Structure 1
Amino acid sequence: MPVLFFVSMTTLLAVAPEVEVTSLSGASATGSLQSLNKTVAKVKAGQTEKDLPLSNILNMRFPRHRFQRSLELPVTVRLTDGSHFPIQSL
């Protein structure tokens, strides 16, 4: 079992996921996530690699792994004030 875990983690870390990072100042960076620790996210875009401090990151998205849900029937959202409205997609 430990060997299977090691092989799975090695395979997972070998593939750098595509990431979109937005900073608090509004600047954005898109590329592959090279590493992530408690202080810095390393993003490689082309030949350049950027070290982005986590204290300056507003949002980090993984566009290929977006939640996709198709609604066959509309979902009704009910608010606490009693109003409600149907939605077609999330």
Structure 2
Amino acid sequence: WSVFFATLDSLTEADLEKVITIRGERHSVIQALLRQVSHYGQHVGQIIYLAKQLKSSDWKTLTIPRGKSKAFEQTAFVYSSVEAFKASLKEGK
């Protein structure tokens, strides 16, 4: 990650408009960055899949536990987020 973020920090606006070739395909630098971040997501999914298989019934969900969505929706965090979103819509943001 440190290499990825260091590279991001070094890019200029002009760099983002350049075209590069990856595996014979031309991409803008922005497209290449999105491609790479998407690729990382695929690997994260693979790691989670394997972890779930290895932990089996001991697996602890990374998000809202199965069957607990209603309880989560009632939390102050969700309520305040929804209210903030509604307020931003009223303000035209």
Whichever structure has more strand as a proportion of its residues is 1
Whichever structure has more helix as a proportion of its residues is 2
Bigger relative contact order (CA 8 A; separation at least 6): 1
TM-score (norm 1): 0.24
TM-score (norm 2): 0.24
